[in-house]
Amino acid sequence: MGDPALRVRDASFSYARSHPVLRGVSFHALAAEVTMILGASGSGKTTLLKLVKGLLPPRTGEVSVLGARVSAPRRGRLDPRVAYIPQQLGLVRSLSALDNTVVGALSRIGTLPSLMRIPPEPELRHARELLGRLGIAHKADEPVQELSGGERQRVAIARALMQRPRVILADEFISDLDPLTSAEIMSLMREATAEGAAVVMTTHEMDVVREHADHVVVLRGGAVSLDVRGAPEAALIAQALRA
């Protein structure tokens, strides 16, 4: 068993004037493991990932990642060791696959080269290597909006890996992919865990859970209804979703 990469303790959150989205959520995810967060739409999965990333502050409770308490700065820099892949991937449409990948290295690039969009050569080389490892080196100079769904997913992963992450947070990013592409993407996530990263992803895909989950957390109505190591039986998950 690896070290706890992130820990959420009794975290609650609500958007202004709305019902609580998260209610007293507690769980921890280990390094070198894939933690899958399941739950119906509106159960608080995306909000939970944003709390862990520091994009939102918990109303109560505490979130710590890599041993440090996460504060949600309104506009300050966020921890680059925690990569976040949003549901729609958050790629910059007019930039090439290579430029989108280089975005992952921004915390290591100075202001002037950033403003001139001339990243240091080693970062460019590393970005090209990553795109090569992900099988899309030949698409490096194409705008991401001209790529297929699977290719865009790979660019988003390349951007995340470019951060040299210790934690990867991925929000339903394999939804609606065909089974083959989905399996390829998951094997890339597995490679990341093999290098010691903790992967925390939300999903609806039960097949993916069965094959790849080391740890499953089920959310229902903003609260944890199941937290088990390993891939639990589908019936247990279904019960937790209805509980």
Which residue, chain included where needed, has tokens 């925690």?
A: 82
Shortest reach from residue 83's CB to another protein, in Å: 7
For the beta carbon of residue 42, count every other beta carbon within 10 angstroms: 13
Q: Which is nearer to another protein, 57 or 221 (CB)?
A: 57
Shortest reach from residue 231's CB to another protein, in Å: 23
Q: Which is nearer to another protein, 69 or 117 (CB)?
A: 117
φ and ψ at 71, to 5 degrees?
-105, 150
Interface residues with another protein (CB under 8 A) are 50, 53, 55, 74-75, 77-80, 82-95, 99, 103-107, 109, 111, 114-115, 117, 143, 145-153, 156, 159, 162-163, 174-178, 181
- What is the distance, to the nearest Å, from the Cα of residue 56 to the centroid of all Cα atoms in its chain? 15
Nearest in space to 8 (alpha carbons), one of 64, 74, 83:
64
Q: If DSSP codes are grouped into helix, strand and coil, which group holds residue 112?
A: helix
Shortest reach from residue 139's CB to another protein, in Å: 12
Amino acid present at 97: A
Which tokens sit at 7? 């820990």
Strands 68-69 and 215-220: unpaired
Shortest reach from residue 36's CB to another protein, in Å: 18
Q: Which is nearer to another protein, 89 or 131 (CB)?
A: 89
Shortest reach from residue 80's CB to another protein, in Å: 3
Q: CB of 214 within 8 A of CB of 230? A: yes
